[in-house]
Amino acid sequence: MVILTLLAMLAVMVLLAFFRSSIWGWLLAMVVFVFIIAIQSKLSADLFQVAIILLVLVIAVLGVPSLRRRLVSSQILKIFRKTLPHISQTEQEALDAGTVWWDGDLFSGHPDWRKLLNYPKPTLSAAEQSFLDNETETLCAMLDDWDITHVRQDLPPQVWQYIKDNGFFGMIIPKEYGGLEFSALAHSAVVAKLASRSITASVTVMVPNSLGPAELLMHYGTSKQKEKYLRGLAQGKEVPCFALTGPFAGSDAGSIPDYGIVCYGEFNGQSNVLGMRVTWEKRYITLAPVATLIGLAFKLYDPDGLLGGQTKRGITLALIPADTPGVQVGRRHFPLNSAFQNGPISGQGVFIPMEYIIGGMDRIGQGWRMLMECLAAGRSISLPACATGGVKLAARTCGAYSRVRKQFKLPIGKFEGVEEALARIGGNAYLMDAARALTAAAVDMGEKPSVISAIVKYHCTERARTVVNDAMDVHGGKGICLGPSNYLGRSHQQNPIAITVEGANILTRSLLIFGQGAIRSHPYVLKEIQAAQDSDTQRALLNFDAALLGHMSLSLSNAMRACLFGFTGGLGLSVPAGEKTRRYYRQLTRFSAAFALAADVSMLVLGGNLKRSEKISARLGDVLSQLYLCSATLKRFEDDGRPADDLPLLHWAIQDALYRIQIAFDGVLHNFPCRLSALLLRALIFPRGKYLTPPSDKLGHQVSVLLQQPGAARDRLTAGMYLPDDESDAVGALDAALHSTLQCEPLQAKVDAAHKAGQVTALGESMRIAETHQKGFINAEEAQLLERDYVLRRKAIMVDDFAPEQLVAAPSNLSDSER
């Protein structure tokens, strides 16, 4: 009897797990459940009849649409309308902006992995690859980051000119306007390569191709505006900036106090011109000190009714030439010793004509939506690329330095403490580059993934901080002494810039990722909200009923899937083939179902308070983020042809992310306000307890070894970074030193053996090599190799020193020839 009952209960779970799209699946499960109770409890005939009658009533109410709407959905709709938190206009526009892509699959609890893997492999065109290999390579070779950040606090004039002349400012602009019309993937690849050489250069190139005048004009500009400005922007004749942030409106950009008043005024010698007097105060504006064209966000008011309609017209965007009378470009900010041009900009009652509004008068009041739509794409590309480029540099140099640098007669990479840091560096680099490429590819497929853009912005910049900190620890004193030989110090200093801009990371994690995703990416929540806001009563009820029914079915299905797959580890799931990856797809499917369940319970129990439960929201966002990062990592492994050499990187990245998911879920459950709900969720999500562990020491050792020796896996991991072949360059010398060290190890062993035996007595290494050669233990060619190896290793580990006057930056009044 017990076995029969257990089998019947398992059948209920399977029905609920797999009949997610139909009410009849879970109504059938209810019938089975009643029979289980009847058999187990040995109900009398009368009680059994009562149970059947009640079950029939439930089926009638829920299964007959007209009865369900009248008795159930209408009542829930009333409650839903009362408890629905107020959504401001800016919040609504943010929700409406962008598209739902793979995040929708993850939110459903039923990710279609084959759909993900069938997306085209991210690939550059021949022209884009040529630009990366030639123009971008040349630009990188022109960059001396110490000269840029310490001596000049700016790019050299020849670099500025090269950037303008070769179309770096016009990568996203269509060819018809003189631009390069590159893909998002190419834009990302260029920024990443530049970031591996100079953050100043990467930011300078990144900003005109991200959220700013060019992108806004392409999407919303009038034909006249496009003709007037895009060609100049593409050719570098115009230098753009976009002014959004001000002293009293940072992350809450929708509260900008800057305003414009519709009025008549004089412009270019003409009187009685319809326009606006705009007053603004902005700060942190990249390229503002050198900009010729200013994009500006402000709130427009029409107190005299010159436009007709409302007085408050909403956030509006305009393009203003920097030489317009009244525009005040302030002095430069100095963000953490970075030399990219950044500063405040303001204006008091600056009169501009209506034709300066981006998109013309039809776009008045649509500025916030325009910004959100562009940000959804732009944030997906630039900052993740910048972070990934720096991480590739850290991975390449840390691996080489750990093999070249010796202490206690051993390469420091053989010490387990250093191995731990190297494993984090390698695993994070692999995962970040996968997320960068997949997200850029999504943009190229026409998506504007607003939730995913927040995920990659947050996690790429945060993981970059972790990687750079680890890299600094590995390099020790080499990392903390600034100078031409230091390739990490500026990255360590300037990493917080990326963490702060385009949505501070603290708020991105606690408010945006899950807060926006719970509404935007969920299969039914947005439909329920839209139905609740519909003034047509009958249509609202029909749409709400359909969404509610689907939502309930999905939630029950995910509850059973989470529990069932938590027990089995996902056994029985149909997932993509692959002996080494099958278990990961199963675990991710399990956690996707658990996440969807936890999200639904959180919204049901906390309601409007979820918006203020930022720590719960942040942890749920962590789960969603790790699910996406794992998806990107698996996609990369498949696209690369499942190279066996990359398996340590794949395993480390996925196992680390799965463990983070487990921690995030545990944090949600431990802190969930309703303890009964928390206990129920814990039983469903962790039916076997928390059994996942972080990557093992053995796996970390494998990743560490991979970073410390030349090979295809190391080259794939750092592909796309700038790697100078000049041994006078610090990075070039270090890479050459790695190859030399490995080549000379057998020869060095001969020298060490002769010294240990007392046959060679010289104390200094260079003299010891000479004596070993002189006594015939090595030949002339071998001695030459060892001498070169000594020179390269010495250059790799040495740091810079300066005369006092060299540590004073060049005065700003010096000409370029004097600097």
Active site residues: 502
Please tell me the distance from the alpha carbon of residue 719 to that of residue 193, in angstroms, as a whole number.
9
Is 466 exposed, middle or buried, given 0-12, 13-18 or 19+ CB atoms closer than 10 A?
Answer: middle
Burial class (CB in 10 A: 0-12, 13-18, 19+), 172: buried
Residue 312 backbone phi and psi in degrees, to 5: -85, 110
Token representation of residue 90: 């800016």
Q: Return the structure tokens found at 677.
A: 């709900």
Three-class HEC string of 627-680: HHHHHHHHHHHHHCCCCHHHHHHHHHHHHHHHHHHHHHHHHHHHHCCCHHHHHH
The continuous run of DSSP H or E covering 343 comes out as: strand 342-353
305: left (phi over 0), alpha (psi -120 to 50) or beta: left
Is the separation of the CB atoms in 95 and 376 below 8 Å?
no
DSSP run (H or E) holding 392: helix 382-404
What tokens appear for 779 in the block? 């030949």
Structure tokens at 758: 């007392």
Element (H, E) at 277: strand 270-286
Tokens of 516: 């926006």
Q: Which residues pair with 243 in a beta bridge?
A: 296
- Residue 305: what are its φ and ψ, rounded to 5°? 65, 30
Question: Measured between alpha carbons, how far is 240 from 215 in angstroms, rounded to an integer?
Answer: 11
Contact assessment for residue 340 and residue 286, using Cβ atoms and an 8 Å cutoff: yes
Buried b (16+ CB within 10 A) or exposed e, 140-169: beebbbbbbbbbbbbbbeebbebbbebbbb
